[in-house]
Amino acid sequence: MKNASHRQAQAHTRIEAVMAEIQSRIASRVYPPGARLPSVRAQAQAMQCSVSTVVEAYGRLSAGGAVVSRPGSGFYVAGPLAPLALSELAPDLDRAIDPLWISRQSLETDVDVLKPGCGWLPPDWLYETGMRRALRTLARTSSTTLAEYAPPLGNPALRQWLARRLAGNGVDVAPEQVMLTESSTHSIDLICRFLLQPGDTVLVDDPCYFNFHALLRAHRVHAVGVPYTPQGPDLDAFASALQEHAPRLYITNAGIHNPTGATLSPIVAHRLLKLADTARLTIIEDDIFADFETTPAPRLAAFDDFSRVIQIGSFSKTISASLRCGYIATRPDWLEGLSDLKIATSFGGGRLATEAILAALSDSGYRRHMESIRVRLATAMDTTLKRLAALGIQPWLRPQAGMFLWCRLPAGGDAATLARTCLKAGIILAPGNAFSQSQRAADYLRFNVAQCADPRIFEVLAQAMAG
Amino acid sequence: MKNASHRQAQAHTRIEAVMAEIQSRIASRVYPPGARLPSVRAQAQAMQCSVSTVVEAYGRLSAGGAVVSRPGSGFYVAGPLAPLALSELAPDLDRAIDPLWISRQSLETDVDVLKPGCGWLPPDWLYETGMRRALRTLARTSSTTLAEYAPPLGNPALRQWLARRLAGNGVDVAPEQVMLTESSTHSIDLICRFLLQPGDTVLVDDPCYFNFHALLRAHRVHAVGVPYTPQGPDLDAFASALQEHAPRLYITNAGIHNPTGATLSPIVAHRLLKLADTARLTIIEDDIFADFETTPAPRLAAFDDFSRVIQIGSFSKTISASLRCGYIATRPDWLEGLSDLKIATSFGGGRLATEAILAALSDSGYRRHMESIRVRLATAMDTTLKRLAALGIQPWLRPQAGMFLWCRLPAGGDAATLARTCLKAGIILAPGNAFSQSQRAADYLRFNVAQCADPRIFEVLAQAMAG
């Protein structure tokens, strides 16, 4: 009897020890709120005790409310729930190269801050007169346009306009293949929801638009970077990535590449599509900079006829970012699934933004506006290149058009350090590694030539580089 | 030797049999494109063969391209990718009660169609004069407002306005706790992204707004319905659901409940929060119908001070659905995570919609407009109740305010059948089971009294019920 009660006491102590250990791990967030505890068997092995000890410990923790059992699924740390902190998904990321931090900085509008790292034009470069005219017209429009939800695919006239513009770029698409969204980012987000599951792999260019990284983090998928060359993605690396990672999706830019300003060559486009075909890869081509091109680069969608290419875009870089409107052009059989997802997650769009954008686009001034913007950008690019050259900062290539310059610092320069220093002087830079999956762009910066007019930027840069 | 080669041949045949079986399952979409194949061990057990046979079969299918191996993850059916078809996630759902199908029908604007089942006011009931005035003002606004992205949390002045309105409902909240979104649905979507993982369980009212079902399907989480009573959710059922399902979230309406028109009693609110507290449950309270109330019902957020209640809302039911603008009010420590998700998935909002809404709200006409709408709705409710009574259709309760009537058909009536019949005559109904997780509302319909002015609705209903 004595022995039995001794054994019982020992078992009791073991259970309590295991409980204490688990409670301490919960307290220190080794097991964060909402996390699944290791299986009973794995825990027993890890803690070198019997399965029954763990069962008993989990059971008591569950009775006490620290742990919740979900039948068929296991034991979970009780709430407060552990929300999805995108920042915690990349905890080691230096704030200066954290995509979300950079976006946040750029979106906070403090008039005293200069933003050579920002990804869009200053407001007075956008199509202001067109917007004002459109708003005056809309003030007199029908009740329906003023008050109603848009139909599931969005404004039919704007979808027709888009189909015509795509045709102008050699992309043959029916208006029925076009769905309007709130933005380019919203377009990619919907496609990710449609095609991806957590744990999938997605190829991106290295470097690429930094918010792609944040967006993919939000989908809990792995991003794999493919080095970008002046003619497009490095095809050998692309082929290896297909082989090694079996990705479901590749996200890239059409036309002018962000951040490098490079454009895809026809031969790379053709070979890329052959590789994609063999691997049954879907490609999202973000055509957001279409209207900045002087000589249109080849569109993957034009080669492929939408069998595996999805084209997206928006008007936030040319007309206005204040009225949200983007689009998805894709194969006809995917439209219903995509629009179901749009309705389920945002209950469709509004009418006013699309009507305003359509009015601005239809107006004869828009073409002239974009002509003048292209000239203005070319001039700003010359000036910025000269000012950067004076600091020993060299472009990776000289873009044919657009607003971006992807530049290398003189030997030994570290863009993240520079960004931190310049931020103190009210200047927001875009350090290379924010764009780079491989983190091999520590000595690069992206400049937006339209945001580089103020000479103070270069004075502060010079001081920061010297200091 | 003979025996060995015989055994080899047998093994060969077994491998081919397994391959053939898997290929047939792929062809018939038992294993749909992109799906993970059962683990080698599970497959071996299921097919009653050796593990090595399955390994060999998977390997050969992989070499042939029908199957793709992903290191560390398993074997997957090769693409074309299997997109997320929300409709396929509930394949047995009758189209007439499919939330997505009903939304789609309501959003398609055919002027000849009558929509007594629709969830919003006709366009000329919304705040048209305020919108026209706001657009005229905005045509003269700054370049920044016309062209720039909004800051991460959205228009500060509108967030202040919202904090003041919430204070009027007894909800104490700082403007820093409010983030603007594109819509109520977008608000819930962001919160789901923030708090949920695929496979989680979410409680909803039974019946509830049908798009909650579609939204939760898009997040691949399980919805569990809690019966709704005239005073709020059935607390015994709520407590059992907490016990049984350990849900992470409960989504409900503040004020006027959709579809029933019921309002939460203070005692139910208090007990509900106590249950939620014990279970560490987060609650989303959708306050979209706030301005329709004559006597405000208690707000969960007012009792709870945002420790576990998140309040959301929008202006699409009162000012305009054409300019998208919603909000989230929540505990301060969740704002950054939520705004990171907003930026990652939609790159923030636009300025114009929020400025237009703010202008309309600030304008002295808005209060008068809503007063007149409340009177108009009360009159329309009387008329609709009478017309429905003449058909033997009775309300579950008589709502204090709002646009919805949750009505029961005479004995033996089936709302889905009725909806199909009426659709042929150009009348869109909202059958009860679209709102009901348990599918126990087959004899219910939701009517929107503001969309019931046309007597043809009741003529067609009478004919359909007779036929």
Cα–Cα distance for residue pair A364/A367, rounded to 1 Å: 6
CATH of the domain at B384: 3.90.1150.10
pLDDT number for residue A79: 65
Note the pLDDT tens digit of each residue in B193-216.
Answer: 999 887 789 999 999 999 999 999
Cα–Cα distance for residue pair B268/B65, rounded to 1 Å: 58
Positive or negative, the CA dihedral B193, B199, B205, B209 is positive
pLDDT number for residue A90: 62
Chain B interface, mutation test: which of A104, A131, A143, A146, most B Cβ atoms within 10 Å? Answer: A146
Q: Is B145 near chain A, with CB under 8 Å?
A: yes
Cα–Cα distance for residue pair A349/A367, rounded to 1 Å: 26
Residues A294 and A436 in one domain: no
Helices (runs of H) and strands (runs of E) counted in chain A? 17, 14
Instruction: Give the 3-state DSSP-derived string for A424-464, with helices as H, strands as E and coil as C.
Output: HCCECCEEHHHCCCCCCCCCEEEEEHHHCCCCHHHHHHHHH
B8 part of a folded domain: no
**Is the pLDDT at B96 greater than 90, yes or no?**
no
Cα–Cα distance for residue pair A411/B413, rounded to 1 Å: 80
B139/A147 touch (CB, cutoff 8 Å), yes or no: no
pLDDT number for residue A380: 98
Residues B168 and B256 in one domain: yes
ipTM: 0.85
Total count of domains within chain A: 3
Helices (runs of H) and strands (runs of E) counted in chain B? 17, 14
B34 part of a folded domain: yes
Q: Which of B309, B335, B362 is the last residue of a domain?
A: B362
Query: Where is B104: in which H helix or E strand?
Result: helix B99-107
Cα–Cα distance for residue pair A281/A195, rounded to 1 Å: 11
Residues A54 and A189 in one domain: no
pLDDT number for residue A25: 79
Instruction: Give the 3-state DSSP-derived string for B424-462, with helices as H, strands as E and coil as C.
Output: HCCECCEEHHHCCCCCCCCCEEEEEHHHCCCCHHHHHHH
Which residue reads 């708003």 in tokens?
Answer: A135
**Is the pLDDT at B84 greater than 80, yes or no?**
no
Cα–Cα distance for residue pair B261/B263, rounded to 1 Å: 7
CATH of the domain at B188: 3.40.640.10
Out of B86, B131, B348, the one facing A341 most closely (by C-beta) is B86
Residues B168 and B296 in one domain: yes
Q: What residues contact B458, with CB distance under 8 A and at least 6 apart?
A: B387, B388, B390, B391, B452
Closest CA to A310 of A288, A290, A286: A286
Residues B230 and B334 in one domain: yes
Q: Is A149 near chain B, with CB under 8 Å?
A: yes
Cα–Cα distance for residue pair B247/B203, rounded to 1 Å: 6
A87 part of a folded domain: no
Q: What residues contact A306, with CB distance under 8 A and at least 6 apart?
A: A173, A177, A329, A330, A331
Which residue reads 């830019």 in tokens?
Answer: A253
B107/A321 touch (CB, cutoff 8 Å), yes or no: no
Q: Is A5 near chain B, with CB under 8 Å?
A: no
Q: Which of B306, B333, B362 is the last residue of a domain?
A: B362
pLDDT number for residue B80: 52
Please provide the distance, in angstroms rounded to a whole number, between the alpha carbons at the two ends of chain A: 79
**Is the pLDDT at B1 greater than 60, yes or no?**
no
**Is the pLDDT at B94 greater than 80, yes or no?**
no
pLDDT number for residue A45: 84
Q: B36-64 b/e with 16+ CB inside 10 Å = b? A: ebbebeebbeebebeeebbbbbbeebbee
Q: Is B362 helix (H, G, I), strand (E, B) or coil?
A: helix
CATH of the domain at A64: 1.10.10.10
Backbone angles phi, psi at B201, to 5 degrees: -115, 140
Residues B370 and B288 in one domain: no
B346/A182 touch (CB, cutoff 8 Å), yes or no: yes
Chain B interface, mutation test: which of A67, A149, A318, most B Cβ atoms within 10 Å? Answer: A149
Share of chain B above pLDDT 70, in %: 95
Q: Is-cis flag, bond preceding A259, omega within 30? A: yes
Q: What is the dihedral of CA B424, B429, B435, B437, to 10 degrees?
A: -30
pLDDT number for residue A176: 95
Query: How many CA atoms, within 13 angstroms, populate the side-chain half-sphere of residue A173?
Result: 37
pLDDT number for residue B79: 65
A217/B86 touch (CB, cutoff 8 Å), yes or no: no
B378 part of a folded domain: yes
B92 part of a folded domain: no
CA distance B23 to chain A (A): 18
What pTM, to 2 d.p., does this model score?
Answer: 0.85
Q: What is the band of B36 on the pLDDT scale with cuts at 50, 70, 90?
A: confident
Closest chain A residue to B188, measured at CA = A345
Cβ atoms of A161 and A306 within 8 Å: the answer is no
A93 part of a folded domain: no
What average pLDDT does the segment B91-96 reach? 68
Encoded tokens for A192:
């990710």
Structural domain range at position B236: 128-362
Residues A161 and A265 in one domain: yes
Instruction: Give the 3-state DSSP-derived string for A16-77, with helices as H, strands as E and coil as C.
Output: HHHHHHHHHHHHCCCCCCCCECCCHHHHHHHHCCCHHHHHHHHHHHHHHCCEEEECCCEEEE
Residue type, B437: Q
Closest CA to A369 of A320, A333, A407: A320
Cα–Cα distance for residue pair B68/A247, rounded to 1 Å: 10
Closest CA to B136 of A139, A399, A329: A139
B85/A320 touch (CB, cutoff 8 Å), yes or no: no
Residues A296 and A173 in one domain: yes
Residues A181 and A55 in one domain: no
Cβ atoms of A177 and A335 within 8 Å: the answer is yes
DSSP secondary structure code for residue A399 in this structure: -
Q: What is the pLDDT along chain A (467 residues), one digit of tens a residue?
A: 456 677 777 777 889 889 988 887 777 666 777 777 888 888 888 888 888 899 899 988 888 778 888 766 678 887 655 677 776 666 566 777 788 888 888 888 677 899 999 999 999 999 999 999 999 999 999 999 999 999 999 999 999 999 999 998 888 999 999 999 999 999 999 999 999 887 789 999 999 999 999 999 999 888 999 999 999 999 999 999 999 998 999 999 999 999 999 999 999 999 999 999 999 899 999 999 999 999 989 999 998 888 899 999 999 999 999 999 999 999 999 999 999 999 999 987 889 999 999 999 998 899 999 999 999 999 999 999 999 999 999 999 999 999 999 999 999 899 999 999 999 999 999 999 999 999 999 999 999 999 999 999 999 999 999 97
Q: What is the band of B436 on the pLDDT scale with cuts at 50, 70, 90?
A: very high
DSSP string, B264-308: --HHHHHHHHHHHHHHT-EEEEE-TTGGG-SSPPPPHHHHHTTSS
Residues A145 and A292 in one domain: yes
Residues 341-360 of chain A with CB under 8 A from chain B are 341, 343-353, 356
CA distance B358 to chain A (A): 15
Please provide the distance, in angstroms rounded to a whole number, between the alpha carbons at the two ends of chain B: 79
Mean pLDDT (chain B) is 91
Encoded tokens for A229:
């060359």
Residues A107 and A144 in one domain: no
Cα–Cα distance for residue pair A117/B39, rounded to 1 Å: 48
B252 part of a folded domain: yes
A408 part of a folded domain: yes
Output the furthest CA–CA distance in chain B (Å, rounded): 98
Q: Which of A362, A377, A397 is the last residue of a domain?
A: A362
Out of A148, A199, A214, the one facing B109 most closely (by C-beta) is A148
pLDDT number for residue A3: 65
Residues B357 and B375 in one domain: no
